[in-house]
Amino acid sequence: MKEKIGKVFKERFGEGGAIYASAGRINLIGEHTDYNDGFVFPGAIDKVIMAEIKPNGMEKVRVFSIDIDEYTEFGLKEEDAPHASWARYIFGICREIQKRGGEVKGFDAVFAGNVPLGAGLSSSAALESCFAFALNDLFNGNRIDKFELAKIGQSTEHNYCGVNCGIMDQFASVFGRKGNLIRLDCRSMEYEYFPFDPKDYRLVLVDSRVKHELADSPYNKRRASCERVAKALGLPSLRDADMEALDRIKGDITAEDYFRAKFVIEEKQRVLDVCEALNRGDYPTVGKKMYETHRGLSKDYEVSCEELDFLNDEAARIGVTGSRIMGGGFGGCTINLVKNDLHDRFVKEITEAFEKKYGHEPKIYDVVISDGARKLD
């Protein structure tokens, strides 16, 4: 990828610039916890967006996307927003840096990537943090701190791409570290690294390539349930709730709200349990918790779907150590913790079984926990 980018850069812009990369991400456990002030547990992966960038002494940005095979240029004022959606991510990063008093001058860039688009691995966060990191290095002497870089990515999604996302994806992409997952406390924004470097296991994503709920309404309904229960408990959020307290008010809330809150309370604890297990190198416990999360998402939180439950059942049948829905649900991927010696059989059997039942193959992505945003030599 690096050679290809270098070659194209040279053809288009002449002498080469500096090269930067940032990664997509997975979330091992901690789903639907962010808006409940709980924990998420993401890590950067070995799938990246890479860009060669050089200041051009002009007032404009000239950029070529190798994968989309499109060139565009734009100025750096608010009214200069480009039309191409891929370029809006880059424009947004420039603008959000400027809004914070940072410097961005004209530059030339060529970029490419291998984070699958729209598969739940956050290619958009990889793109944002690659450019945010690069522009901080090239024009701001790295004075913008890493958390602010993540927020610059998040604000880009909000203000220039119409996606009202949380901070996790950009956080993981910026802070990712090889062989480590990062537990982020969504209330205090404190974070802590935990080792994830299994010698005997691999992480495998199985993308069902289905999406059942396009509207936001199920998401908003889950949120509303959580808020109602927190209120009934007299708490600002479910973060501080436990099962004892929930059981005390069981008669005052609907059965549906009860099970929604039960999932959130149990999921918070599962993230903490998984972190402890990783400190001991206890991957079987990690896997067990992943299955518990899936069951909770499916039965209590009701955000699964037939295809995802099928993938989870198949993983269990084949003897995979851990498996669960990754992301909001209603489609997308499962994340699987798979013993090395089971890997090939797992991929083959789950692909065949899924295709037989649903008429199309799932996509398989092997991922390794790797570094996030960085400059390459």
**CA 290 → CA 8, 79, 168, 181, distances in Å?**
43, 46, 19, 15
Residue of 27, 65, 323, 336 that binds ligand ADP (CB under 6 A): 65
Residue 86 partner contact from ligand ADP, Mg ion, none using kind-dependent CB cut-offs of 5 to 8 Å: ligand ADP
The answer for residues whose C-beta is within 8 angstroms of residue 33's C-beta and 6 or more apart is 39, 40, 186, 264, 267, 268, 271
Decide if residue 117 touches ligand ADP (CB under 6 A).
yes
Decide if residue 155 touches Mg ion (CB under 5 A).
no
- Does the annotation mark 169 as catalytic? yes
Query: Which range binds ligand ADP by CB under 6 A, 1-9, 107-115, 226-234, 284-292?
Result: 107-115
Residue 155 partner contact from ligand ADP, Mg ion, none using kind-dependent CB cut-offs of 5 to 8 Å: none
| Chain residue whose CB lies nearest Mg ion | 124
Decide if residue 68 touches ligand ADP (CB under 6 A).
yes
Q: How far apart are CA 370 and CA 47, in angstroms?
A: 9
Chain residues 122-161 in contact with ligand ADP, contact rule CB under 6 A: 122-124, 127
Structure token digits, residue 167: 């901070």
Place of tokens 């990191």: 133
**CA 222 → CA 44, 57, 301, 317, distances in Å?**
27, 50, 8, 30
Q: Minimum Å distance from CB 102 to Mg ion? A: 23
Q: Minimum Å distance from CB 367 to ligand ADP? A: 14
Chain residues 21-50 in contact with ligand ADP, contact rule CB under 6 A: 49
Residue of 11, 67, 197, 313 that binds ligand ADP (CB under 6 A): 67
Residue of 72, 124, 136, 336 that binds Mg ion (CB under 5 A): 124
Residue 253 partner contact from Mg ion, ligand ADP, none using kind-dependent CB cut-offs of 5 to 8 Å: none
Among residues 207 and 257, whose Cβ is nearest to ligand ADP?
207
- Active-site option among 169, 207, 257, 371: 169
Residue 85 partner contact from ligand ADP, Mg ion, none using kind-dependent CB cut-offs of 5 to 8 Å: ligand ADP
Per-residue x/- track, 69-98, ligand ADP (CB under 6 A): ----------------xx--x---------
Among residues 128 and 266, whose Cβ is nearest to Mg ion?
128
The answer for residues whose C-beta is within 8 angstroms of residue 167's C-beta and 6 or more apart is 34, 150, 151, 154, 184, 186, 189
Decide if residue 310 touches ligand ADP (CB under 6 A).
no
Q: Minimum Å distance from CB 174 to ligand ADP? A: 15
Report the candidate in 308, 87, 337, 314 with the shortest Cα–Cα distance to residue 200: 337
The answer to whether the beta carbons of residues 354 and 314 sit under 8 Å apart is yes
Kind of pairing between the strands at 107-113 and 191-195:
unpaired
Query: Which range binds ligand ADP by CB under 6 A, 61-69, 134-142, 228-236, 288-296?
Result: 61-69
Query: Which range binds Mg ion by CB under 5 A, 15-23, 115-123, 308-316, 334-342?
Result: 115-123
Residue 335 partner contact from Mg ion, ligand ADP, none using kind-dependent CB cut-offs of 5 to 8 Å: none
Measured torsion, CA atoms of residues 205, 211, 216, 220, in degrees rounded to the nearest 10: -60
Report the candidate in 203, 206, 205 with the shortest Cα–Cα distance to residue 355: 206
What are the residue numbers of the active site? 169
Q: Which residue ranges make up the site for Mg ion (CB under 5 A)?
A: 122, 124
Q: Which residue ranges make up the site for ligand ADP (CB under 6 A)?
A: 49, 65, 67-68, 85-86, 89, 112-113, 115, 117-118, 120-124, 127
